[in-house]
């Protein structure tokens, strides 16, 4: 863990970095967050993450006390303070301290917290061999309830699905919607390859608009891989030739078994491998430098 936690303008040692038990982030999950990472001293897609944070906050009518430019500088400073080259960054904005009622208007000031930690990856073996996942009974929040495009502090929907996945012996679970269409994993987006075409569900169906997902879409365009955003069912998922998940922490991880059906030949597919390679190259050359002397 990095040593310095940012809270509302101050950098504090971990032991002193505390928020009130009356914070509505704790009491009600009222707040928003972002998860970012650095590759070799550069923050990957910083602006996109900041943009999504402000969009999430706008949706829940939470005013972030910094401008986007100030936020960018603050995140860079937080990484610098912790002196890490490969880090995971968590930005949290809570509604702040209120009373025991729900009313957000009684919370006078949002709390802004930035944690910089070491990145914990899935074991390399899983990237080489692929994941086994299951679809689970808990559906993703419908867009008319809590739209999954909002990256809110309220992750119980995903946590329930994660528990169900783990109960079936899998570390990741695939969530569906009320109609049975495939949406996303508990903390990652999903792609399949169906007869040569790369497919991922469209965001309006009720998924997080993943930043890694967007990078993969760009890679597919650059590599000339046919791509479409389209809803698909478990039938198409089971019969896909390839499947993989995408996320800031997971990056691109192949899926080789779903609900005990083998995907393709049961090994990470050729398109998945090409996309992973291209992704790795992009992460090595892009990003906002944290340490200015190394530009």
Could you tell me which residues are beta bridge partners of residue 192? 199, 243
Q: How far is the CB of 21 from ligand PMP (least distance, A)?
A: 26
Q: Which of 24, 26, 91, 87 is nearest to 53 (CA)?
A: 91
Q: How far is the CB of 89 from ligand PMP (least distance, A)?
A: 12
Nearer residue to ligand PMP within complex by CB, 12 or 231: 231
Could you tell me which residues are beta bridge partners of residue 251? 247
Q: Residue 280 phi/psi, 5° resolution?
A: -60, -40
Helical H runs in the chain?
24-28, 46-59, 68-82, 124-129, 156-167, 211-223, 234-238, 270-285
Q: Which of 72, 85, 125, 151 is catalytic?
A: 151
Are the CB atoms for 60 and 96 separated by under 8 Å? no
Q: Which of 66, 37, 67, 32 is nearest to 52 (CA)?
A: 32
HEC per residue, 185-230: ECCCEEEEEECCEEEECCHHHCCCCCHHHHHHHHHHHHHCCCEEEC
Distance, in Å, from the CA atom of 199 to the CA atom of 192, rounded to the nearest integer, reads: 5
Asked about 277 being catalytic, the answer comes back as no
Nearer residue to ligand PMP within complex by CB, 91 or 193: 91
Q: How far is the CB of 20 from ligand PMP (least distance, A)?
A: 26
Nearer residue to ligand PMP within complex by CB, 89 or 211: 211
- The site for ligand PMP (CB under 6 A) is made up of 35, 158, 184, 187-189, 208, 210-213, 246-248
Q: How far is the CB of 141 from ligand PMP (least distance, A)?
A: 10
Nearer residue to ligand PMP within complex by CB, 201 or 268: 201
How many Cβ atoms are within 10 Å of 101's Cβ, its own excluded? 10
Q: How far is the CB of 289 from ligand PMP (least distance, A)?
A: 21
Residues assigned a catalytic role: 151
């Amino acid at each position: 863990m990095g040593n310095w936690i940012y809270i509302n303008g101050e950098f504090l040692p971990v032991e002193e970095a505390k928020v009130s038990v009356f914070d509505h982030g704790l009491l009600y999950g009222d707040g928003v967050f972002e998860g970012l990472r650095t590759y070799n001293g550069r923050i990957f897609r910083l602006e996109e993450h900041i943009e999504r944070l402000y969009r999430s906050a706008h949706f829940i009518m939470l005013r972030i006390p910094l401008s986007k430019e100030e936020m960018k500088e603050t995140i860079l400073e937080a990484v610098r303070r912790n002196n890490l080259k490969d880090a995971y960054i968590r930005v949290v904005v809570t509604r702040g301290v209120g009373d025991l009622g729900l009313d957000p208007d009684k919370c006078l000031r949002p709390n802004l917290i930035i944690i910089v930690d070491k990145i914990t990856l899935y074991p390399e073996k899983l990237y080489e061999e692929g994941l086994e996942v299951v679809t689970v009974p808990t559906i993703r929040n419908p867009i008319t309830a809590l739209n999954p495009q909002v990256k809110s502090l309220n992750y119980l929907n995903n946590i329930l699905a994660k528990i169900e996945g783990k109960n079936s012996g899998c570390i990741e679970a695939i969530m569906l919607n009320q109609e049975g269409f495939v949406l996303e994993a508990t903390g990652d987006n999903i792609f399949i390859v169906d007869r040569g075409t790369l497919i991922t569900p469209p965001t309006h169906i009720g998924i997080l608009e993943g930043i890694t997902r967007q990078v993969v879409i760009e890679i597919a365009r650059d590599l000339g891989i046919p791509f479409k955003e389209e809803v698909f069912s478990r039938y198409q998922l089971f019969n896909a030739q390839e499947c993989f998940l995408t996320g800031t922490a997971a990056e691109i991880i192949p899926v080789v078994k779903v609900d005990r059906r083998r995907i393709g030949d049961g090994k990470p597919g050729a398109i998945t491998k090409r996309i992973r390679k291209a992704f790795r190259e992009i992460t090595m050359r892009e990003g906002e430098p944290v340490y200015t002397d190394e530009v």
